[in-house]
Structure formats: structure tokens, C-alpha cells
Amino acid sequence: MDSISPIHTIQTPSTSNSSLSPSSDHLPDKQGERPLSVPDHQKDRITVPSACVACRSKHLKCDGHNPCSRCSTNEYECVYVRSRRGFKGPRRNGAQGKTAAAVSVSTSTASATTPRVTCPLVRPGAASSTINTTTGNTGNIPSGLATPPDNRLQALPFGPADHPPYERNRDLTGLEGNKQPQISGLDLRQKCIEAFFYHFWPAHPFLLPRDNLLRLLKEKHLDHLEAAMRYVGSFYIDQAPTTALCLEAERSIYRADCPKDAFKVQAMLILCIGLDGYTYQEKALQVLTDAQELALELGMNKRDFAAIHGNGWSTLEESWRRTWWEMYIIDGMIAGVHQKSFFPMKDIPAEVGLPCEEWQYVSGNIPGPHYLSDFDDEDFAHRDYSYSSFTYRIAAMRNMGRLLTGRQMNPNPDSAAVDRMDAYLVNWRLHLPDNKKQLISSDGKLDEMLFQANMITEASTIVLHRELSELDSSITTPIDSCAPHHPITPGTNYNVHASKIITAAQSISKLITLPVPLIKHTHFFTCVITLASVVHLSCWSVLFTILNDDDLKQQLKLNTGALKTLWQVWPSAGRAFGQVKGVAGEIFQRKKEVIERGWWGEVGEEVFMRGMVEERSYMEELQLL
């Protein structure tokens, strides 16, 4: 498992051969094989087909060798990325749903035995993907999408209230070279680490808290863990070369000499989340499976694992417990929302202690853990012990697991079977203690664990009820990026199941309006928004809409706006945005045909036409997005 990297594959461009065709593949030849012999009259300006990243970023002449003379002199690593010159995104009528062009990275220090790999990664406004030169490169665009938003952190509508401890910087040099120039006090690699802690950690708090981990990293060489953190942190920094960092993380984790310990499990989990957020779900699942195998091999599901491997340090013990449960949550999200697996972890007996509250974890005042058996045995009404928000997140995901188990045993459940499952979801809400009913605390801070718990429960509700809702969702078939389409037998009745999924979709849209930056949420929120959008779009596609049409459109606007915002960090949101937008366009087109043919039926021409005027304005707004 650890001797080879299953995720090292050679990618071919999926959207267009042209962007990476041999004629445009201007990677430099081997050192010394590239004499620039040109006629004298052309020597005034000899332009190389491709400048290395360092020269490009500095606007300096590159000789095109590998390494080039400038990098050689300065002892920088000489990195070339394939040119996307002239590439304007995939063809409008082709390659839907595929990721855009891959970027190949060739380094002068790459081992001869290391396969030349490309990361199939695409990100709006990112480097390497994303080397931002003078024009504010927007990077490759997920299929069928318009020009993506450019700067991420700066452009966020709900930008961070307080600033992260790094600044944006344009310089790209010294990513991996022996000599790493300092940029504004913090170099790019350090900025990625800081971005990881500032933006990503609160949504997936299983690594040690920042100060503890940074101290540990100084004492203990955990290159693979650092590489994974840097990779995910790079999502939040415009000029960070995410592709190169992805490769670095993969190589580091899958190196044969990488120690098979719980730190490796943590690194794999981070890599998995990063790949998943980068529209690379299959590979994310592969990494997650590897992480699960290793975790079981190490016995991380055993009660005493944390104590044995915690070195008497309660924070580290808590980190090991959280690592197991985080893997459980991610496994459940991938199974429940992406529907790419069967949530294998739901069937693994786990004796691992339940996580404490976030503030306890950060402060280091960690109480002795409780266990799932305690949680299940509690009399909800009369308990005097309050479980952590993380625990309710686990409980929410357990319900998703029950639902998937039921679906495995009976793929076509009747209404009674669905109601039995629904009782778990309703009970989860009913038995939340009072202090866990508010997502925002009195000091205005969001409880991200509770947020995710609610998000999971609403998603579970949609997954559970949609097939009996009789709500025709066939028009949303193209939306497969996050929440694949499920065929539903349409009916004419507005039944209780339809009501349940519509209410859940509304609740999900409501989560968007919470006064916190959207990018602070887990990227899995993207998938849940997409799931809600499928419900909204299905309703919208029905002529005699069962909802207040205005509310519906407002919620769709919220969803698309949120996806666009999340796209500034997560390419998976870009894909989902494009697909939702495409379906909205299709519905609008069909409604226009209704006008042409005069099929407005009982609604009446006037009402229908008024609705169409509003919908046209919505479509225009969508186009502007």
C-alpha cells in the first residue's frame, strides 16, 4: 500500500487536446539539448517558448534550459509548467463534467525513477494551475463555466472578520529550492501552513491545535503531514502552486520510507479532503480507503490507542480520537452525498472515546472521554452531562449510516420503512440539548461542528425522502458533480415526503445566511448546497409550483451565490455552480417554449408571463455571476 502511489497517474487533458498538444508543450528539453541557434537578425529578441516559473514571475528573461541559468545561479529549483497560452476554457458543447487541462510540472530535482505525473487539478484564480502573472490569471475553468472569480480572499463577499497572519504576495520563487527566499516575513510555504490553520482547521479539527502542532513539527520531522497541510492551505492563497504542492504531498505520503503511523493517517485524511474539494472524488476515495486500512492496522479504532500513543499528553490523545471520528465523518459524507461508497466505517466497531468541546481541545483542558455506549444509554431528558458539538456531529452521521444500511438491505423502501428511518432524524433534532440548538454563540462565533451536524441531518433527510417524494427531478440529471441524480417516479400528489425534502432544502439554504464567511465551512457544504439546489430546481421545473415562487427563486439565488463564493477556494463548487446554472438555463428555456406554444394552462397567461419576467431577471443575475 505504501510502496506505490496509486494516485500517481499520467493524465491527459480532458477538455481539449489542444492546450497540451505537443506543439504547445513547451517544456524544456534535457539540459544542454536546446541550442538557441537563430539567424543574426533575430538575435535582437530571442524568446523562449516557455519561461520557468521563477523567471516568469519576475518578468525576467529565461534561457529555457533546465535548470535555467538564473535558477542555477540563484540555486532556485527550476520549475516549468505547461503553457496554456491561447487556451480559453473547454469548448462550450463538449467535455461536460470533465476536469480541465492538466498541468505538468517538471523539476530539475525530480528523481529519474519518479514517474512524471500530472495533477488533474483545476482551480479558478489559482497558480499553476495558478501562476498569477501580470494579468491576474484565472486558471483553468471547470467544464462549461464562465470566467471564474479571480482573487479569493480579497473578493469574498463575507470576507474574514479578522485577518489571517499572512498577506497575499505575488512571488512564487523558492517553492522547493534549496534556497527559499523570505517573502514579507513569511515565505509561501509558511503562508500555506498558516492558511491551513486559519481557514481549514476549524472545519476539520483533528490535527493538534496550531501552537502545539508547530512545536511538535520542530521536534519531529513529519514532512508528509506538513506537505498535506501545505497543499490544502494553498487553496486559500492565490499565488500558491497548488498542483506542485499536491504532487509533493502525494509523493511524501506514499514514499516507501514514510513511517506507517497515525500521523500518516492524518496526512492522508487531509490529502483526501483536498483531492475531493478539487473535483477529484475517485482519487480522494482511494486515499481515504488507504487511510482506513492503515488506521485499522494500527488499531486506531481501539479504546486504548489514544492512551498508548499519546505519550501522556492529553491533547495528543484527543487528537488521535478526533482523527478516527473525522475519518468516520468524511467516509459518511463521501458515501451519503457523493454516493461513491457504502460508508464502510459505519460497520466497524469503534471503541474510541468521543471528542471534547473545541474550546477544551484548544486550551488543553481536556476532560476524560465519554463513549458512544454512554451516549446511547443517556436519558436525554434527565442527563446532567452535556456532550460536545463534535459528538452531535458524529451522531448525525450515524443516522446517515443507518439510512444507508437500510438502503443497502432494502433498495426500494416503502413509506413505513422510510418513516422508521425518519424517526432517527427527527429524534436527533428533538433531543438536542438547549445549549446545542443555537449555531451562533452569544459572542457571535459559529459552532462549526454543530453547523455540520445540522448540515448532515438536512442532507440525510433529502437522501431519505427524495425517492418517495414523487417530485420529478429528471431535469437535474446533469448535476452529478456532488450529488448524483436519482431517478424518481413522478407523481401528481404533494406528499409528506416532498414536504420533508423541500423543508430540508430550505433549511440548507438558511444555513448559507449565517453571518460567517462561507469559506470557513467544510467544502462538503458545497455538496449539500448542490443537493438542496436539485430540490429547488425540481420544484421550479414544475409549472404549478407548490412553493411560493419568490421564496424558491430567492433560495436558488442564495445557493448559486454560495457556490460561486465557495468556488473561490474549492473547484468542486465551481463544477457544481456550472451544472446548477446549466439546469436553471434549461428550465428557463423550457418555460419559454411554454410561452411560444401558449401552454400555461390553469395558471393563466398574465400570471405566467409575470413569473417569466422575474425568472428572466434571475437568469440574468445568474449569468452575471
Q: Interface residues with DNA (CB under 7 A)?
A: 16, 18-19, 21, 23-24, 26, 45-51, 55-56, 58-62, 81, 83-88, 91-92, 131, 133-135, 137-138, 170-171
Shorter beta-carbon distance to DNA: residue 7 or 71: 71
CB of 591 to DNA, least distance (A): 24
To DNA, the closest distance from the beta carbon of 186 in angstroms equals 14
SS3 content of the chain, % helix, strand, coil (to 5): 55, 0, 45
Q: Which is nearer to DNA, 100 or 556 (CB)?
A: 100
Closer by beta carbon to DNA, 52 or else 421 = 52
Please name every residue paired with 446 in a beta bridge, in sequence order, or none if there are none: 440
Cell of 118: 500530472
Minimum CB distance to DNA smaller for 13 or for 336:
13
In this structure, what are the phi and psi dihedrals at residue 108, rounded to the nearest 5 degrees?
Answer: -70, -20
Q: Which is nearer to DNA, 93 or 111 (CB)?
A: 93
Least Cβ distance, residue 22 to DNA (angstroms): 9
What is the per-residue DSSP string for 394-441?
HHHHHHHHHHHHHHHH-SS--HHHHHHHHHHHHHHHHTS-GGGS-SB-
Alpha-carbon radius of gyration of the chain: 26
Q: Is the bond into 241 cis (omega within 30 degrees of 0)? A: no
Q: Which three cell numbers stand for residue 151?
A: 482573487
**150, 125 Cβ separation under 8 angstroms:** yes
User: Are the C-beta atoms of 471 and 490 separated by less than 8 Å?
Assistant: yes
Give residue for cell 476539520: 204
Give whichever of 137 and 473 is closer to DNA, judged by the CB atom.
137
Minimum CB distance to DNA smaller for 185 or for 490:
185
For residue 478, the minimal CB distance to DNA (Å) is 18
Query: Which C-beta is closer to DNA: that of 83 or that of 545?
Result: 83
Q: Assign residue 133 a region: left if phi > 0, alpha if psi is -120 to 50, beta otherwise?
A: beta
Question: With respect to DNA, which residue has the nearer C-beta, 171 or 586?
Answer: 171
Least distance in angstroms from the C-beta of 191 to DNA:
15
Quote the least distance from Cβ 116 to DNA, whole Å: 19
Least distance CB 80 / DNA (angstroms): 8
End-to-end Cα, the chain, rounded Å? 44
Provide, rounded to whole angstroms, the least separation between the CB of residue 177 and DNA.
Answer: 13
C-alpha cell at 421: 428511518
Distance CA 436, CA 190 (A): 36
Residue 51 CB-density burial (10 A; 0-12 exposed, 13-18 middle, 19+ buried): buried
Smallest gap from Cβ 475 to DNA, in A, equals: 24
- DSSP string covering 61-105: -----SS-HHHHHHT---EEE---TT--SS-TTS-TTS----EEE
Nearest to 522 by CA among 566, 461, 579: 566
Nearest-approach distance from CB 152 to DNA, in angstroms: 16
Q: Which is nearer to DNA, 45 or 382 (CB)?
A: 45
